[in-house]
Amino acid sequence: MKLFYSIIIVGLFTACSTNSDSSNEELKKETEFTKGKYVRVDHIKIDKVSDAVGGFGLISEITFHNKNCEFDYVGLSMSGSYEVDGNKVFIDAGGQIGKLSMELIDNNKLQGTGFINGIFMNVQSQEYLDYKEKTKDLYYVTKTVVLRSLPINDRKVMVGDTLFEGESVIIKEDKNGWAFIENKQNRKFGYCKRSILEAY
């Protein structure tokens, strides 16, 4: 009888251990780091260092190879080394940039801080392809402005809603450096400079 109970206890322990290992393996697969090219998908445009508080968000894309990575920093092509520790990716860029860190959201998405602040997606992932399809006709606003009733800079021209940095709009007309835009979600429309709009 004792032998029977012993066999049952050992069997239960083995099953629990196997289930635990299986769960850990599934979690590891879900958060496994994927190499390749990542681009930032939250759109706060920064053209130069002086525009950024503390130099944040100055890197918009990064490519991870086996041990090294490449990225653009204010228009300059740079490289560094990196290592993955758990759900963190640590990048040693050297020079005045120093070390950067990113957190693994899932196996195709990263959240960066500091110079590499923002959410980055792997360009080979289905999620990124779906995102590009969804935003193919959209433009994002890179600078907060007041919309105008006519495409001219004149104090007599009626002004309307404020178009905030980061908003998504559709361009209905693009002529002579001005764009007539529409934001259906917030019911905004009017003219603004075409130069402040960038495609997703």
Residue 88's CATH number:
2.40.128
135-160 pLDDT, tens digit each: 888 898 988 999 999 998 888 888 98
**Domain boundary pick from 97, 119, 134:** 134
Mode of pairing for the β-strands spanning 159-163 and 76-85: unpaired
Per-residue pLDDT band for 126 (boundaries 50, 70, 90) equals very high
From 57, 62, 64, select the one nearest 42 (Cα to Cα). Answer: 57
Share of the chain above pLDDT 70, in %: 77
Domain of 164 in residue numbering reads as: 139-199
Proportion of the chain in helix, strand, coil states, percent, rounded to 5 = 25, 40, 30
Mode of pairing for the β-strands spanning 139-141 and 145-148: unpaired
**170 and 110 in one domain?**
no
**78 and 41 in one domain?**
yes
The alpha-helical segments, DSSP class H, found in 94-192 are 126-134
Q: What is the pTM of this model?
A: 0.64
